[in-house]
Amino acid sequence: MKITYLGHACFTIEAGGVKLLVDPFLKHNPNYCDALWEQAARPDYILVTHGHGDHVGDTIEIAARSGATLISNFEICNWLHAAGVERFIDLNPGGTATLADGGVTVTMTPAIHSSSMASEGGDNIYGGLACGFVIRCGAEAVYYAGDTCLFGDMRLVDELYKPTVGLLPIGGKYTMDAEAAAYACNNFFNFRTVIPMHYDTFPPISADPARFSALVKKGAVRMLALGEALEI
Ligand code: NI
Ligand code: MN
């Protein structure tokens, strides 16, 4: 498995011959550069955790160019299908999609967060349940928590799927902060590697990843620079 950080909460995960792009917020990221777009291009699947703009991001454009299949909740799949995304797999928490090419599965997990899309008139359109994902391939399993607070049922994610790598938000305000994310690592999971995300993109979610690293007592924290990849 190869995990590449594309800024904010966007990653590509390449496993079993398929390329997954998660929460592709690229062009409106203040740290955007063309190299990130190149890495995001031509995914086989696009995973979207919830309806907020910093997660749906460039899904419509990338899906149109690549023909990628969207994996998201029922409501977001319907909304993006109406907006032109042709192929989708709609899940709800607990559901698993088995991907065509090589023994990769994507399971939708709960997250505690809101989910809505902004209409042109400024109203919020219902965006279903915010979620996370567990991506499994062989002996490896990646838990991508999504935007969420700390919650006790994260224990079940560990018990059921035994994730070896965790991608956790640490920016606070809208999600877990560094203390809460470290609590999850130390008490709920047995990650070999933890990658912090969803911090420092905007001033309200500034966080110190070195402090997060110091707080984590189980597993190694790996801070990925923009465009940097980790092979597991
Ligand atoms: Ni959000
Ligand atoms: Mn967010």
CA of 139 to the centre of ligand 1 (A): 30
Ligand nearest to the CA of 169: 2
Please give the structure tokens belonging to residue 174: 């809208």
Q: How far apart are the first and last CA of the chain?
A: 5
CA of 29 to the centre of ligand 1 (A): 14
Span 86-139, pLDDT tens digits: 999 999 999 999 997 669 999 999 999 999 999 889 899 999 999 999 999 999
Say if residues 91 and 97 touch (Cβ distance below 8 Å): yes
Say if residues 21 and 87 touch (Cβ distance below 8 Å): no
Ligand nearest to the CA of 198: 2
CA of 64 to the centre of ligand 2 (A): 23
CA of 142 to the centre of ligand 1 (A): 20
**The predicted structure's pLDDT at residue 228:** 98
Ligand nearest to the CA of 115: 1
How far is Cα 204 from Cα 30, in angstroms, rounded to an integer? 14
Nearest CA to 112 out of 88, 147, 79, 162 is that of: 147
CA of 146 to the centre of ligand 1 (A): 8
Q: What sign results for the dihedral spanned by CA atoms 99, 7, 34, 70? A: positive
Span 12-66, pLDDT tens digits: 999 999 999 999 999 999 999 999 999 999 999 999 999 999 999 999 999 999 9
